[in-house]
C-alpha cells in the first residue's frame, strides 16, 4: 500500500504550523481547533495518529516521528524535543482526573493539567502510556507496554507498569 503524504497540513485553522519538510499522513488527525499544534522540521506523522490539544498545546521539535495510532493529548501542555521517536499505539496524556471526593461523581471533579515534557533523543516503545506531570530526560528509552507515572532521569532505560529503572545507558 502506498501512502500519499501531505507536506503541509492545511485545515484552515491558524493554530497548526508545520515545516515544509514535515510529512503528515492524510488520515492523521490534527485538531488545531482545540489548541495550537507546532511541528518542527523533518517530522513524520503516520496514518491514524491523533494530535489533540484539548485546550492546551502540542509542540514538537525537529526530526520527530509519531507512528500509527498514537494519541498525543495536549491538555496541560505537551512538549517533545528533537529526535523523539514514538512507536505505534502509544498514548501521552498531560491531564488526570481528580477522584478524591467519593461523594462526587468523578466526571464532576476537577483535573490536574501539569503537562508532559519529553527531552531530545528519546525513544518511546509501542503501547506506552505517559501520564500527567512527567518529564522524560534526554536520551532515554521507554520499553514497550510501559506506564510512565514519574520523571525519568536522562539516559535511563525504563520498563514496566508502573515504569521502573531497568538500567542506565552508558
> 148 near 162, Cβ under 8 Å?
yes
Residue 98's pLDDT is: 94
CA distances from 81 to 12, 13, 58, 106, 108 (A): 26, 24, 11, 33, 34
Residue 3's pLDDT is: 47
Assign 3-class secondary structure to 18-50: CCCCCEECCCCEECHHHCCEEECCCCEECCCCE
Report how far residue 144's alpha carbon sits from residue 160's, in angstroms, rounded to the nearest whole number.
8
Reported confidence tier of residue 91, pLDDT bands at 50, 70, 90: very high
pLDDT tens digit sequence for 27-82: 999 998 889 999 999 999 999 999 999 999 999 999 999 999 999 999 999 999 99
**Residue pointed to by grid coordinates 507515572:** 149
Length of the chain: 170
- Extract the C-alpha cell encoding 107: 466526571
Residue 14's pLDDT is: 59
Amino acid at each position: 500500500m502506498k501512502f500519499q503524504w501531505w507536506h503541509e497540513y492545511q485545515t484552515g485553522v491558524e493554530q497548526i504550523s508545520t515545516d515544509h519538510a514535515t510529512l503528515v499522513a492524510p488520515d492523521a488527525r490534527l485538531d488545531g481547533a482545540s489548541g495550537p499544534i507546532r511541528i518542527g522540521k523533518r517530522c513524520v506523522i503516520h496514518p491514524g495518529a491523533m494530535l489533540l490539544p484539548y485546550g492546551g498545546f502540542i509542540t514538537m521539535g525537529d526530526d520527530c516521528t509519531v507512528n500509527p495510532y498514537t494519541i498525543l493529548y495536549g491538555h496541560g501542555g505537551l512538549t517533545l524535543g528533537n529526535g523523539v521517536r514514538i512507536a505505534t499505539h502509544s498514548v501521552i496524556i498531560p491531564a488526570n482526573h481528580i477522584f478524591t471526593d467519593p461523594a462526587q461523581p468523578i466526571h464532576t471533579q476537577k483535573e490536574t493539567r501539569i503537562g508532559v515534557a519529553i527531552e531530545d533523543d528519546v525513544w518511546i516503545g509501542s503501547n506506552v502510556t505517559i501520564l500527567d506531570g512527567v518529564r522524560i530526560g534526554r536520551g532515554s528509552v521507554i520499553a514497550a507496554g510501559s506506564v510512565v507515572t514519574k520523571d525519568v532521569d536522562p539516559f535511563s532505560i525504563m520498563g514496566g507498569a508502573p515504569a521502573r529503572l531497568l538500567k542506565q545507558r552508558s
